[in-house]
Amino acid sequence: MTAIDTIRTQDWQAIFSDDEKSLAIGGLESGNVVLLPELAFSLADNEEFILRDPILSPKRKNISYNSLTQQLGGVADDYCNNDTLKAFMARYAKAAQQLVCALLPRYCDSLEIGRTSYRPAEIAGRASSPRKDDTRLHVDAFPSSPVAGKRILRVFCNINPWHQPRVWHLGESFRQVADRFMPLISRPMSLQTGLMKLLHITKGKRTPYDHYMLHIHDKMKCDETYQENVGKQRAEFLPGSTWMVYTDLVSHAALSGSHLLEQTFYVPVSAMQNEALTPLRQLEAMCHRPLV
């Protein structure tokens, strides 16, 4: 069972107690979801179109924003340089960062900011290949963005205007996932990893850690019997709530819902309170060798 740890605040710039901070870091690192059920992200009147207009490019799953370059991606032609949309995405990125720094101060200095995403489209019934299908249980790993052991911490906020929850499944523990799938994955070939970087297939070097995580991700999603039979629980995240998860550690699937905001952060393993719980150290313990 994945536990959900609840912290009550309505303020993105809240100051948290030591008890709340220790609940959050301990919970996240051990594979819980940290839920802030009253933390809503409100839209100003001039931003309302973001909930209602067809701002998503027809072939894309979400709108992305890169804080470093201030570029939007996935936006329909009419909105592709919309300053209000850009400012909205930037505001969410900043709010999420403030929240992480206030609630998880241990991570603040070494936090690397990844993409901000806005997912206006309904996810139920959307066609996609098994590997790209986030309605199947998986742990996160991205083929083009190797992380070399860095953690993937995501902050989600449901801004659905029609009271629809974001519905997830939460699966078995990382340990159970790794025990099941690691024996099915062959060792990475060292020549292959350097070559992929040279040919610009990957943004950095695909380390043995990335190799194993990517194969775990693919094998989980492509195994129909596993998807059907593995123990799972349903979680509903209501509009007006925010939740944080280490999505590289927690087996998750998104079943239905629309209008979700998400901010990705990369956190070095050295910033963890308990390194032994990280996917990197767990896989290394299984393989009896360093993987980055």
Nearest-approach distance from CB 191 to ligand AKG, in angstroms: 31
CB 286 within 8 A of CB 209: no
Find the binding residues for ligand AKG in span 46-85 (CB under 6 A): none
Among Fe ion, ligand AKG, none, the one that 254 touches (CB under a kind-dependent 5 to 8 A) is: ligand AKG
Q: Which of 117, 140, 69, 50 is nearest to 264 (CA)?
A: 117
From residue 66 to residue 95, the character string flagging contacts with Fe ion as x (rule: CB under 5 A) and all else as - is ------------------------------
Quote the CA–CA distance of 202 and 212 in Å, as a whole number.
15
CB 221 within 8 A of CB 136: yes
Quote the CA–CA distance of 28 and 5 in Å, as a whole number.
9
- Ranked by CB distance to Fe ion, the top (closest) residue is 140
CB 188 within 8 A of CB 107: no
Q: Is the dihedral of CA 74, 77, 81, 83 positive or negative?
A: negative
Q: Is the dihedral of CA 20, 25, 30, 33 positive or negative?
A: positive
Could you give phi then psi for residue 206, rounded to 5 degrees? -80, 105
Tokens matching residue 232: 């799972």
Q: Which is nearer to ligand AKG, 14 or 112 (CB)?
A: 112
Nearest-approach distance from CB 266 to ligand AKG, in angstroms: 14
Quote the CA–CA distance of 254 and 232 in Å, as a whole number.
12
Nearest-approach distance from CB 134 to ligand AKG, in angstroms: 4
- Choose, by CB under 6 A, the member of 93, 260, 261, 283 that binds ligand AKG: 260
Could you give phi then psi for residue 233, rounded to 5 degrees? -125, 155
Q: Does 206 bind ligand AKG (CB under 6 A)?
A: no
From residue 240 to residue 259, the character string flagging contacts with Fe ion as x (rule: CB under 5 A) and all else as - is -------x------------
Find the binding residues for Fe ion in span 109-168 (CB under 5 A): 140
Quote the CA–CA distance of 141 and 138 in Å, as a whole number.
9
Among Fe ion, ligand AKG, none, the one that 20 touches (CB under a kind-dependent 5 to 8 A) is: none
From residue 166 to residue 205, the character string flagging contacts with ligand AKG as x (rule: CB under 6 A) and all else as - is x---------------------------------------
- From 5-13, 70-78, 219-227, 254-262, span contacting ligand AKG (CB under 6 A): 254-262
Quote the CA–CA distance of 170 and 138 in Å, as a whole number.
9
Q: In a 3-state reduction of DSSP, which class is residue 99? A: helix
- Ranked by CB distance to ligand AKG, the top (closest) residue is 254
Nearest-approach distance from CB 209 to Fe ion, in angstroms: 17
Strands of the sheet with 252-256, listed across from one edge: 233-237, 166-170, 252-256
Find the binding residues for ligand AKG in span 133-162 (CB under 6 A): 134, 140, 154
- From 36-44, 64-72, 92-100, 252-260, span contacting ligand AKG (CB under 6 A): 252-260
Q: Which residues bind ligand AKG (CB under 6 A)?
A: 119, 134, 140, 154, 166, 247, 252, 254, 260, 262
Q: Which residues bind Fe ion (CB under 5 A)?
A: 140, 247
